[in-house]
Amino acid sequence: MNIFSFGNIIIYIDRFIKFINSIFFVILIVGLSFALIISPIDYLQGDTVRIMYVHVPSAWIGLSIFSIIAISTILNYVFKIKNLFLLLKSLAPIGLLFTGLSIVTGSLWGKPTWGTWWAWDARLTSMLVLMLFYVLFILSLKYLKDKENLPKILSAISILGVINIPIIKYSVEWWSTLHQPASIKFLGTSSIHYSMLIPLFLMLLVLLLYCALIFLMKYKTEIIKIKKQNIKRL
Amino acid sequence: MLTKKIKTRLFFLLSVIFITLLFLTFIYLSLKKNILYFKTPSEIFIFDEIKSNSKIRVGGMVKKDSIQQNNKEIKFILTDYKKELIVVYNGAVPNLFSEERGAVVEGKLNDKSYLIADRILAKHDENYMPPEMKKILENAK
């Protein structure tokens, strides 16, 4: 029995969706109560710091989803793996959602802290460019009629876009920006107090589970669409 | 595994990457100066091409005990610990604007050490901690 055949995989997806549904709201409530009630206020920003618990995880998710999309687009183009095409088709809107969310929450945070909604500094501009790449990617997925050349065009877009990812990450170190440098580093100590790191990672978990839920539902829909097409062909 | 078709596709991808990098280098070289959101007071002092009366953004620390405020305007010294710049501004400052914190000012240079600002932004650093923690750190100093 092949678990990757379309008939079987739907059963597994359904089980997975049910599992996430059963734990999602519990973790959501725990995460929100940590982020909104239990965690302390910041010594400088006060309650505004709570915006960070949504802003930072959604920016991370936006960046990592684009990287996944770029890799799978290229692999799909070179080796013609059908499943990867479905994967990136279902991931792209989620990435756009979270990139947009991080820009909106960032600007809500910027007004009380910096004194402006928006500044054309390197970090903010490169993040906006990432969002435009998502939009371009999704529009070409949706409206390009030339299905044969679609993987070629998509991989060109995603190469252009993926070069932007390290630029976003290091923009705050290479150039002088209004945006502060990263507080959490891969190596070394982070400059966020641990009582604020707990809600941050809890919210990351919540948002990741939400991503997984939406992704599985989209993926299932795409599989069902393909099945329907095959039925018509018969 | 690498058939001829796959090879042509890989070749296409590599050429896309190459062309993109080429374009990006050109864009970077031409934008090199504009990509910085602000200049520091010493950069203003060094560079001759920065004329007075031109619009400019300067970032630095607000010097300790330098803020003078009356009901019309606020005057303070912006420093990068090497050179100093006197800033005059009339209007409301952001909440986080205070002494010994980062700020970015936008306005016109009168001469190389005097700037009339029409916008002030507060810069936030990467440190996040609860108020009690800050007190402990200050006592330890």
Domain ranges of chain B: 1-35, 41-122
**Contact flag A193-B128 (C-beta cutoff 8 Å):** yes
Q: How far is CA A224 from CA A200, A211, A219, A220, A229, in A?
A: 36, 20, 9, 6, 9
Q: Which residues of B touch A122 (CB under 8 A)?
A: 35, 37
**Contact flag A180-B124 (C-beta cutoff 8 Å):** yes
Facing residue for B121 by CB, picked from A40, A52, A178: A178
Q: Using one digit for the tens of pLDDT, what is the confidence trace for B97-121? A: 888 888 898 888 887 778 888 888 8
**Contact flag B13-A78 (C-beta cutoff 8 Å):** yes
Whether chain A has a CB inside 8 Å of the CB on B96: the answer is yes
Paired tokens of A158: 């995603």
**Contact flag B37-A176 (C-beta cutoff 8 Å):** yes
Residue B2 has pLDDT above 80, yes or no: no
SS3 B89: strand
Q: How far is CA B135 from CA A42, B64, B70, in A?
A: 12, 19, 31
The model's pTM is 0.87
- ipTM here: 0.78
Whether chain A has a CB inside 8 Å of the CB on B120: the answer is yes
Residue A210 has pLDDT above 90, yes or no: yes
**Contact flag A74-B13 (C-beta cutoff 8 Å):** yes
Q: Which of A56-70, B13-27, B57-71 shows the highest mean pLDDT?
A: A56-70
B81 band by pLDDT with thresholds 50, 70 and 90: confident
Q: At what angle do helices A52-79 and A194-233 cross, to 10 degrees?
A: 40
Contacts (Cβ under 8 Å, ≥6 apart) of A150: A140, A141, A144
Size of interface A-B (CB pairs under 8 A): 110
Q: Report which DSSP code applies to B63.
A: P
Residue A224 has pLDDT above 80, yes or no: yes
What is the rounded CA–CA span in Å between residue A68 and residue A60? 12
What is the rounded CA–CA span in Å between residue A150 and residue A88? 13
**Contact flag A115-B6 (C-beta cutoff 8 Å):** no
Q: Could you tell me if A73 and A151 are in contact, meaning their C-beta atoms sit under 8 angstroms apart? A: yes
- Least Cα separation, residue A26 to chain B (angstroms): 27
- Spell out the domain ranges in chain A: 6-40+50-233
Name the residue of chain B whose CA is nearest to A109's CA. Answer: B124
Chain centre to alpha carbon of residue B53: 20
Give the pLDDT score at A5.
Answer: 67
Q: Which CATH number fits domain B41-122: 3.30.56.10, 3.90.1010.10, 3.40.50.150, 2.40.50.140?
A: 2.40.50.140
**Contact flag B36-A178 (C-beta cutoff 8 Å):** no
